[in-house]
């Protein structure tokens, strides 16, 4: 028999980090669809990925958290040192989306409708971040199948920003998993066979590798050839710096294509962009919910 425990709202955390996530979401089936958002027969997988991305953000990052506490006959606050308030905006274009099919509670996210060319939908997310920059400590962009699975994600970003400098951006390593096979976890954004495939590659000679002590280990971070992760995370000061550049909101496609450019190109042009090195790749990572490589494009034997 379940024990009924009344929940009394916790007092607000005195120093609550505020984070805004924007998610570019599009789905329209196409017989020759290259991306998951256009691939025929992928409707259920894409709906589940978007729903999962939003749910995991709320479960992992958003506060309040609580601890069962018998003497209090209920709960007491937990993780107060990392208190975070999360808002989520899903950007779509026209009627080509699955937002109405999501089984999420009211208020889980805000739906931002546009009439944008779907290939440039990510830039509509940039405009939402611009308009809200004064209200948030971190401003973030995600493709619609990216999940943050580390509750200390922004604590790590705060730590990195504290010593790497305001012109340095840390990108996570994006991974997929496979239950059966010789590789259980694959980081999918490695160096391409030819760097020319990326299109735009910045000069990376300035502080190519940097390192610092954390958790009793020396962590290394590199300006790798492929900085793409399908997402980005900028502090308020970094977002304001980017907004002041003449190419901000210019619908460019110079990095791989327009979808990838929305996630990565502006960072490469205006910041030193790092990823955790292979030896400590899991220091900052995000999960790719749409398993595109392991068990699909790649057959590991």
| pLDDT mean by block of 10 residues, the chain; 301 residues | 70 82 92 56 90 96 87 84 93 97 95 97 98 98 97 97 97 90 87 91 95 96 96 98 98 96 97 98 95 64 46
What pLDDT score does 301 carry? 46
Residues 142, 52 contacting (CB under 8 angstroms): no
What pLDDT, on a 0 to 100 scale, did the predictor assign at position 183? 82
User: What global pTM score does this model have?
Assistant: 0.91
Q: Identify the CA nearest to 220 among candidates 296, 287, 147, 281.
A: 281
Output the 3-class SS for 171-193: CCEEEEECCCCCCCEEECCCCCC
In this predicted structure, what is the pLDDT of residue 77?
87
CATH number of the domain within which 213 lies? 3.90.550
Per-residue confidence (pLDDT) for residue 220, from 0 to 100: 98
- Please state, in angstroms and rounded to a whole number, the distance separating the CA atoms of residues 228 and 207: 19
Do residues 100 and 52 make contact, with C-beta atoms less than 8 angstroms apart?
Answer: no
Return the DSSP state at 81. Answer: G
**Which of 114, 169, 109 lies closest to 144 in space, CA to CA?**
109
Does residue 296 fall inside a structural domain?
no
Can you tell me the distance from the alpha carbon of 151 to that of 269, in angstroms, rounded to the nearest whole number?
A: 29
Q: Residue with structure tokens 């000069």? A: 203
- Name every residue whose Cβ is closer than 8 Å to that of residue 72 and which is 6 or more positions away in sequence: none
Task: State how far the Cα of 145 lies from the Cα of 47, in Å rounded to an integer.
Answer: 9
- 154 in a structural domain: yes
Domain region containing 36: 17-288
- The half-sphere exposure of 300 on its side-chain side, counting CA atoms within 13 A, is 13
The whole-number pLDDT of residue 100 equals 96
Beta bridge partners of 231: 142
pLDDT at 41 (0 to 100)? 66
| Residue 19: strand, helix, or coil | strand
The two tokens of residue 55 are 């749910």
Work out the end-to-end distance of the chain between its first and last CA atoms, rounded to an integer number of angstroms: 49
The per-residue pLDDT for 32 is 61
Using CA atoms, how far apart are residues 92 and 113, in angstroms rounded to an integer?
5
Q: Is residue 38 part of a domain?
A: yes
Contact 190, 226 (CB under 8 A): yes
In the chain, which residue ranges form alpha helices assigned H by DSSP?
43-60, 121-132, 153-164, 236-243, 258-270
Q: Where are the beta strands (DSSP E) in the chain?
A: 17-24, 65-69, 74-78, 84-93, 110-114, 138-143, 146-147, 168-170, 173-177, 185-187, 209-214, 217-222, 231-235, 272-276, 285-288
Q: Which residues contact 27 (CB under 8 A, 6 or more apart)?
A: 37, 38, 42, 43, 46, 47, 96, 97, 98
Look at the chain and report how many structural domains it folds into.
Answer: 1
């Amino acid at each position: 028999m379940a024990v009924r425990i009344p929940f009394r709202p916790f007092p607000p955390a005195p120093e609550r980090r505020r984070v805004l996530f924007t998610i570019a979401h599009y789905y329209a089936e196409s017989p020759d669809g290259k991306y998951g958002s256009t691939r025929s027969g992928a409707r259920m997988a894409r709906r589940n990925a978007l729903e999962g991305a939003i749910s995991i953000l709320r479960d992992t990052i958003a506060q309040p958290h609580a601890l069962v506490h018998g003497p209090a006959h209920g709960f007491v606050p937990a993780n107060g040192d990392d208190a975070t308030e999360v808002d989520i905006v899903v950007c779509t274009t026209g009627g080509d989306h699955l937002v109405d099919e999501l089984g999420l509670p009211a208020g889980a996210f805000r739906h931002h409708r546009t009439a944008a060319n779907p290939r440039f939908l990510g830039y509509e997310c940039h405009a939402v971040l611009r308009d809200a920059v004064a209200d948030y400590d971190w401003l973030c962009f995600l493709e619609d199948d990216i999940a943050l699975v580390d509750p200390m994600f922004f604590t790590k970003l705060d730590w990195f920003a504290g010593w790497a400098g305001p012109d340095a951006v840390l990108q996570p390593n994006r991974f997929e998993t496979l239950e059966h096979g010789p590789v259980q976890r694959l980081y999918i954004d490695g160096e391409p066979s030819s760097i020319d495939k990326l299109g735009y590659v910045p000069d990376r000679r300035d502080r190519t590798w940097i390192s610092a002590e954390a958790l009793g280990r020396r962590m290394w971070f590199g300006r790798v050839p492929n900085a793409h992760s399908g997402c980005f995370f900028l502090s308020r000061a970094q977002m304001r710096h980017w907004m002041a550049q003449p190419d901000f909101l210019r619908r460019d496609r110079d990095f791989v294509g327009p979808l990838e450019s929305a996630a990565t190109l502006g960072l490469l042009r205006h910041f030193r962009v790092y990823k955790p090195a292979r030896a400590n790749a899991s220091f900052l990572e995000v999960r790719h919910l749409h398993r595109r490589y392991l068990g699909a494009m790649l057959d590991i034997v």
